[in-house]
Amino acid sequence: MTFNKRSTADQVTEDLDLSGQVAVITGVNSGLGLETMRVLAARGAHIIGLARTLEKANEACAGIDGETTPLACELSDLASVRECGLAIKAMGVPIDMLILNAGIMAPRELTLANGVEMQFATNHLGHFLLLQHLLEPVKQAKGRIVILSSAAHMTSNRRGIDFDNLDAGLGYDAWRFYGQSKLANLMTAKALVKRLEGTGVTANALHPGIIRTNLGRDAGGFLIRFISIFAGLIEKTIPQGSATQCYVAAHPDLDGVTGEYFSDCKRASYSKHADNEELVERLWQESEKMVAEYL
């Protein structure tokens, strides 16, 4: 069956039995993460649901029918990410689906975390560190790594990743920095391909669509006004927005597919920067340095 931009997460997983599988999902407290958790749990998966605080994770998991394990994971706090990663590894379960869903978008005011701009710290570095801690259990399951990027990755710095301005000391543009963090998400999926060769693990990135969720709570500027004006024409519902990540995470159509970028449940075009092997490799190495003491 062919799915499209109006397909929902329930529809793309309708005939799937995920009993016995384990999915780790970040950002389950609301929006796409909550819907993804609900749908995959309804198909039988055990969900390890991560949110910024244990209280938020508990609340989200309590409202879901199915097996869930709530954990705290504040992505902008690398110590919190490490603690979460170690807690998951201590469970001793293979991970069939690692869905890196959480994020922040275009906050008006510049904030730093771990010495870099907050969006890069949260959307990329926090997930990068969590990924390092969970690679082995994902390999045990020959699982799937699913990373939420965005079409906004096309709006990144003209050099792709501006390594000379990761702390925004040379200037801060909220949307350009958001695009940079989302490009970093896509490039992480690309970097994983050769690192996971022969393991049976796949890594893919995706654009969920334009959805009105808590992600945009701190955002402002022209793009938000544009979305508000044309919302009826371009926005997806949360069930529709969750469809692509559920499809990429669980559908048998994508067995063995890796290093791709998806939108509307199909392959999509993406920035040429993501195919720049030198840039992709530099991002990986610089990211390793930035999280080294938390590995």
In one-letter notation, the amino acid at residue 62 is A
**Phi then psi for 235, rounded to 5 degrees?**
-80, 150
Go through 16-41 and write b for each residue having 16 or more CB atoms within 10 A of its CB, e for each that does not: bebeebbbbbbbbbbbbbbbbbbbbb
User: Is 99:26 a contact under the CB 8 Å cutoff?
Assistant: yes
227 Cβ contact list (under 8 Å, min separation 6): 210, 212, 234, 235
Domains and CATH numbers, the chain: 9-288 (3.40.50.720)
Cα separation, 58 vs 75, whole angstroms: 17
Cα separation, 85 vs 109, whole angstroms: 30
Q: What pTM was computed for the model?
A: 0.94
Does the pLDDT at position 216 exceed 80?
no
| Per-residue pLDDT, 211 | 87
Please provide the distance, in angstroms rounded to a whole number, between the alpha carbons at the two ends of the chain. Answer: 42
Instruction: Using alpha carbons, list the distances in angstroms from residue 291 to 141, 167, 174, 191.
Output: 25, 15, 23, 17
Residues in the chain: 295
| Per-residue pLDDT, 220 | 53
- What does the pLDDT average to over 251-264? 98
- What does the pLDDT average to over 192-215? 90
Does the pLDDT at position 218 exceed 80?
no
Structure tokens at 244: 């692509």
**Phi then psi for 25, rounded to 5 degrees?**
-130, 130
Residue-wise pLDDT for 134-176, tens only, equals 999 999 999 999 999 999 999 998 999 999 999 999 999 999 9
19 Cβ contact list (under 8 Å, min separation 6): 44, 45
Structure tokens at 103: 């994020």
- What does the pLDDT average to over 79-93? 98
Q: Does residue 172 carry a catalytic annotation?
A: yes
Residue of higher predicted confidence among 204 and 223: 204
Does the pLDDT at position 234 exceed 80?
no
| Per-residue pLDDT, 157 | 87
> Of these residues, 172, 178, 261, 270, which one is catalytic?
172
Go through 222-249 and write b for each residue having 16 or more CB atoms within 10 A of its CB, e for each that does not: ebeeebeeeeeeeebebbbbbbbbbbbb
Cα separation, 91 vs 100, whole angstroms: 19
